[in-house]
């Protein structure tokens, strides 16, 4: 029997599991043990053995296993290794065996972790702590499983414009000046010392409470009583149920990230362009090479608004020069429109991406990214005031209209917006590029060209 001492993190499990699998060590011959526990047996330290590419474990399993590894029970590591072993040496499609006991156990744990993550998102309550002129929002929560890291995308998106920290007994996570960091945990007693006035805490809760959103019965049935103890606002609930939830919207509005404070008032296009790199309304700017401002003459009669710069636009600092931009240029050329006579810009000014095997893969901007960047677009459009405003795709339309618009339903329609009496919505050229079927791709491209020709005709009529 080998005792594997590891630090109960997925990365450490994976490093050990890889070496053990390479050596074909059977799952029944291993016991996984958390490093703090100590051991009477000789333990095997395989953490620095070289990695192998020979093991072919489906990526999906690794991703799900990472999630399941949050399940707070040491037997989880055994289960994950057993499944990995069976996948590698017996059945690559094991995870699709719906009645296999190990698979069922895996799914059960996944469901419980997922439920716990959901609870964390619903029940974390921040308390505002004022320090000098700044506020930091603190929360302490006791999840059943190790879900803190998995909740990071939710909290960074929802509370993007605030500085906050969430503590659990084992670990903590903070978002200070748009930077996410993980650290050690603290006990509930220490957490309470953050704030001597529960009143602040309650006021905060009162400001976000929305009876329509939070189902009290569900809260009571879903949330173990011990969580209620950590919610001083519990005593306010009855009173709050009776009150109107209007403050919720105002609260979220005030917390929403916005570029507004960085956008100079009554500025020219070149002053706006010069001010853009200072903006730190959202985290995307800091991850991009540099934000990409619009390009084209102030007198342009037609404005095209895209979603956000892509990889090439990010590296070169100009909008619409990558593959989607080239397709747009092709359509403009066929319609007899010069790039230099139109104004090209984007709803979001910085390239949002994630790492995928060393490549920067485009990530769609969220509604919050679009709203945060909107003051830049608004200022550009207020200056150019185009005859025709073209929204390329749903993100552009969302920014221009201030709400979600269905691209398909809007085809051929002309809308009046505060920026232009002739606002139209077309598919984004990248949707054409992504189309796998060549005939359908050609049909979409021809339709796109037809739309651009039609808007050129419309523009010509408007100046006659
Ligand atoms: N796609 C966009 O939406 N904008 C660009 O600038 C490039 C690609």
The tens digit of pLDDT for each residue in 97-129 reads: 888 999 999 999 999 999 899 888 888 878 777
Task: Give the per-residue pLDDT at 257.
Answer: 81
Task: Give the per-residue pLDDT at 79.
Answer: 96
Confidence of residue 131 (pLDDT cuts 50, 70, 90): low
Task: Give the per-residue pLDDT at 138.
Answer: 81
Task: Give the per-residue pLDDT at 192.
Answer: 64
Task: Give the per-residue pLDDT at 200.
Answer: 47
The reply to whether 420 and 315 lie within a common domain is yes
Nearest ligand 1 atom to the CA of 292 is: 6
Q: 321 C-alpha vs ligand 1 centroid, how far in Å?
A: 8
Q: Do residues 2 and 44 touch, judged by C-beta distance below 8 A?
A: yes
Cβ(313) – ligand 1 distance below 6 Å = yes
Task: Give the per-residue pLDDT at 426.
Answer: 96
The reply to whether 248 and 264 lie within a common domain is no
**Of the residues 118, 148, 180, which one is the last residue of a structural domain?**
118
Domain assignment of residue 182, given as a range = 124-191
Task: Give the per-residue pLDDT at 407.
Answer: 92
The reply to whether 251 and 336 lie within a common domain is no
- The single residue listed with the structure tokens 């077309």 is 426
Mean pLDDT, rounded, for 180-185: 84
The reply to whether 215 and 280 lie within a common domain is no
Task: Give the per-residue pLDDT at 210.
Answer: 41
- Residue-wise pLDDT tens digits, 419-458: 999 999 999 999 999 999 999 999 999 999 999 999 999 9
Cβ(309) – ligand 1 distance below 6 Å = yes
Within 10 A of 129 (CB to CB), how many other CB atoms are there?
18
- Residue-wise pLDDT tens digits, 18-74: 999 999 999 999 988 877 533 222 233 334 434 444 678 898 899 999 999 999 998
Res. 215: pLDDT tops 90: no
Cβ(394) – ligand 1 distance below 6 Å = no
Mean pLDDT, rounded, for 281-307: 93
The reply to whether 70 and 113 lie within a common domain is yes
**Of the residues 154, 172, 191, which one is the last residue of a structural domain?**
191
Q: 464 C-alpha vs ligand 1 centroid, how far in Å?
A: 31
Task: Give the per-residue pLDDT at 432.
Answer: 96
- The single residue listed with the structure tokens 């049909």 is 443
Q: Lowest mean pLDDT: which of 180-184, 245-249, 379-383?
A: 245-249
The reply to whether 243 and 374 lie within a common domain is no
In this structure, what CATH number is given to the domain that contains residue 388?
Answer: 3.40.470.10
The reply to whether 59 and 205 lie within a common domain is no
The reply to whether 454 and 311 lie within a common domain is yes
**Of the residues 255, 275, 300, which one is the last residue of a structural domain?**
255
More confident of the two residues 188 and 131? 188
Task: Give the per-residue pLDDT at 353.
Answer: 92
- Residue-wise pLDDT tens digits, 144-169: 999 999 999 889 888 887 888 898 98
The reply to whether 107 and 58 lie within a common domain is yes
Res. 417: pLDDT tops 70: yes
Q: Lowest mean pLDDT: which of 176-185, 291-300, 359-368?
A: 176-185
Q: 189 C-alpha vs ligand 1 centroid, how far in Å?
A: 50
Res. 382: pLDDT tops 70: yes
Task: Give the per-residue pLDDT at 45.
Answer: 39
Mean pLDDT, rounded, for 313-318: 96
Which of 304, 313, 328 is the best mutation target for the ligand 1 pocket, counting ligand atoms within 8 Å of the beta carbon and taking the most?
Answer: 313
Q: How many domains does the chain have?
A: 4
The reply to whether 330 and 427 lie within a common domain is yes
Report d(CA 267, CA 278) in Å as an integer: 15
Mean pLDDT, rounded, for 324-350: 97
Res. 250: pLDDT tops 70: no
% of the chain surpassing 90 pLDDT: 53
Cβ(307) – ligand 1 distance below 6 Å = yes
More confident of the two residues 206 and 308? 308
Q: 459 C-alpha vs ligand 1 centroid, how far in Å?
A: 23
Burial class (CB in 10 A: 0-12, 13-18, 19+), 189: exposed
Cβ(322) – ligand 1 distance below 6 Å = yes
Task: Give the per-residue pLDDT at 172.
Answer: 87
Task: Give the per-residue pLDDT at 49.
Answer: 38
Among 245-249, 358-362, 441-445, name the most confident range. Answer: 441-445
Task: Give the per-residue pLDDT at 97.
Answer: 87
Mean pLDDT, rounded, for 339-362: 94
The reply to whether 46 and 182 lie within a common domain is no
- ∠ CA 95-82-6, nearest 5°, is 125
Report d(CA 210, CA 221) in Å as an integer: 18
Q: 397 C-alpha vs ligand 1 centroid, how far in Å?
A: 14
The reply to whether 155 and 203 lie within a common domain is no
Average per-residue pLDDT for the chain: 83
Confidence of residue 201 (pLDDT cuts 50, 70, 90): very low
**217 CB-near residues (< 8 Å, 6+ apart):** none
Task: Give the per-residue pLDDT at 256.
Answer: 67
More confident of the two residues 181 and 192? 181
Task: Give the per-residue pLDDT at 266.
Answer: 93
Report d(CA 179, CA 5) in Å as an integer: 32
Q: 449 C-alpha vs ligand 1 centroid, how far in Å?
A: 17
Task: Give the per-residue pLDDT at 54.
Answer: 66
């Amino acid at each position: 029997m080998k005792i594997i001492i590891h630090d109960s993190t997925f990365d450490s499990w994976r490093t050990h599991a890889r070496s053990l699998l390479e050596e074909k060590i059977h799952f029944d011959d291993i016991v996984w043990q958390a490093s703090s526990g100590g051991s009477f047996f000789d333990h095997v330290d395989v953490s620095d053995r070289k990695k192998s590419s020979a093991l072919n474990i489906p990526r999906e399993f690794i991703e799900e296993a990472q999630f399941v590894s949050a399940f707070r029970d040491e037997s989880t590591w055994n289960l994950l290794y057993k499944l990995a072993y069976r996948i590698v040496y017996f059945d690559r499609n094991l995870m699709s065996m719906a009645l296999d006991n190990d698979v069922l156990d895996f799914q059960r744990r996944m469901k419980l972790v997922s439920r716990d993550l959901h609870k964390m998102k619903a029940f974390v309550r921040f308390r505002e702590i004022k320090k000098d002129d700044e506020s930091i929002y603190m929360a302490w929560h006791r999840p059943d499983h190790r879900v803190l890291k998995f909740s990071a995308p939710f909290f960074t998106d929802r509370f993007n414009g605030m500085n906050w920290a969430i503590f659990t007994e084992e670990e903590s996570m903070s978002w200070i000046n748009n930077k996410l960091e993980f650290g050690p945990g603290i006990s509930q007693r220490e957490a309470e010392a953050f704030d001597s006035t529960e009143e602040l805490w309650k006021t905060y809760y009162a400001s976000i409470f929305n009876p329509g959103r939070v189902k009290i019965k569900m809260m009571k049935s879903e949330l173990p009583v011990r969580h209620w103890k950590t919610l001083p606002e519990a005593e306010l609930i009855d009173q709050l149920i009776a009150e109107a939830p209007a403050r919720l919207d105002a609260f979220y509005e005030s917390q929403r990230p916005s570029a507004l404070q960085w956008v100079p008032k009554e500025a020219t296009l070149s002053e706006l362009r010069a001010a853009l790199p200072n903006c730190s309304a959202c985290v995307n700017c800091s991850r991009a090479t540099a934000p990409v401002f619009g390009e084209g003459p102030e007198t342009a009669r037609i404005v095209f608004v895209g979603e956000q710069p892509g990889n090439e636009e990010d590296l070169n600092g100009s909008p619409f020069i990558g593959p989607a931009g080239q397709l747009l240029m092709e359509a403009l050329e066929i319609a007899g429109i010069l790039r230099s006579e139109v104004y090209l810009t984007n709803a979001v000014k910085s390239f949002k991406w994630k790492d995928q095997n060393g490549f920067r893969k485009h990530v769609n901007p969220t509604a919050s990214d679009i709203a945060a960047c909107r003051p830049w677009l608004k200022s550009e459009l207020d200056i150019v005031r185009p005859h025709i405003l073209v929204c390329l795709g749903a993100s552009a339309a969302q920014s221009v209209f201030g709400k979600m618009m269905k691209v398909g339903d809007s085809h051929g329609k002309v809308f009046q917006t505060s920026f232009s009496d002739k606002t139209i919505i077309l598919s984004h050229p990248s949707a054409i590029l992504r189309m796998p079927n060549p005939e359908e791709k050609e049909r979409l491209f021809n339709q796109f060209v037809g739309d651009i020709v039609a808007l050129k005709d419309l523009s010509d009529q408007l100046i006659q």
